[in-house]
Structure 1
């Protein structure tokens, strides 16, 4: 019973912090706001997390797992590797048009943290390397694994340009470029 309560408190903290970090940024989100909006007491927060960075790590891990699953689900609809890659970009096209889309979770955080926040940077790099490896694994069967980094750059570049411009054209352009690369 105690473990269930502890897990529920942890989940409430991570869910609240995830929403706040994503919507208003890591730097602009304070511990007191997380406590207030999650409905937990301060001592419960510190029983589960030593620091705000620990909460951030839980957020990044959770967002990473959700992103990995979403990208894999997009690719599972197709057999042909080229079509799988385009499906990832189609997923992005849909994603960036959502009213509750505030940009890539990981790119948002990396732009806010100091250069010496190694643990956070490593977690973000791990996530981004996972995307690169997804592209590599999709393209390897057709001997085009060497294009994985180029496609990854198009993927992340599209996310950055979409954040800057607030428009869909960076993602549709990146999709077109990926399609040309794979011919």
Structure 2
């Protein structure tokens, strides 16, 4: 297997440090040390901590999207595809290492004009838009409000699951999401 690049090492270290300790509490020295690179190497790849943060969040989003795509492979029914989002969101809830949604945690620390916050907002909006598209595909007459409700159920469930360090509420949340998704569908 090929060795990850120094850039990838820095992103992996940022993932661990930002998630474990928070953005404000994590300096570039700690990230460089965790990555096994010099500060100069870190800055060669990322000119500032804000730049690193934006790339880290985009990198994390890409990894999450790949896992989602893999989980969606072979699932044809649009409502079942919506429920896959719950499975993927909740896949990492168990255990002491889970500290909640990395994007929600980061958003709480970022100013309104942060490019990193823009990555987070785009990610959350993309999930809502995905759900709306799947509802429309299923024949829902007005997918906008229902997609917002399902996405909020997903995000809120993930937040509460993070607090509890448990995915035990996942079946109930998926049942609620299915009920929301199918309530206005035409009878076949």
Which of the five TM-score ranges fits, normalised by the shorter chain? 0.7 to 0.9
- The reply on whether 1:76 has 2:68 as its aligned counterpart is no
What residue is the counterpart of 1:168 in the other structure? 167
How far, CA to CA, are the matches of 1:105 and 1:72 in structure 2?
20
Q: How far is the alpha carbon of 1:170 from its aligned partner?
A: 4.3
Higher-helix-fraction structure: 1
Q: How far is the alpha carbon of 1:99 from its aligned partner?
A: 5.4
Q: How far is the alpha carbon of 1:93 from its aligned partner?
A: 3.5
| Unpaired segments ≥5 residues, structure 2 | 183-188
Pairing partner for 1:39 from 31, 36, 39: 36
Contact between 1:75 and 1:85, CA under 8 Å: does it hold in 2?
A: no
| Unpaired segments ≥5 residues, structure 1 | 1-6
Q: Aligned pair in 2 of structure 1 residues 77, 22: CA closer, same or farther (>3 Å)?
A: farther
How far, CA to CA, are the matches of 1:105 and 1:170 in structure 2?
20
- The reply on whether 1:123 has 2:119 as its aligned counterpart is yes
Pairing partner for 1:91 from 63, 88, 102: 88
TM-score normalised to structure 1 length: 0.85
User: SS at 1:136's partner residue?
Assistant: helix
What residue is the counterpart of 2:103 in the other structure? 106
- The reply on whether 1:55 has 2:52 as its aligned counterpart is yes
User: SS at 1:96's partner residue?
Assistant: coil
What residue is the counterpart of 1:3 in the other structure? none
What residue is the counterpart of 1:142 in the other structure? 138
- The reply on whether 1:133 has 2:129 as its aligned counterpart is yes
User: SS at 2:133's partner residue?
Assistant: helix
TM-score normalised to structure 2 length: 0.83
Contact between 2:99 and 2:163, CA under 8 Å: does it hold in 1?
A: no
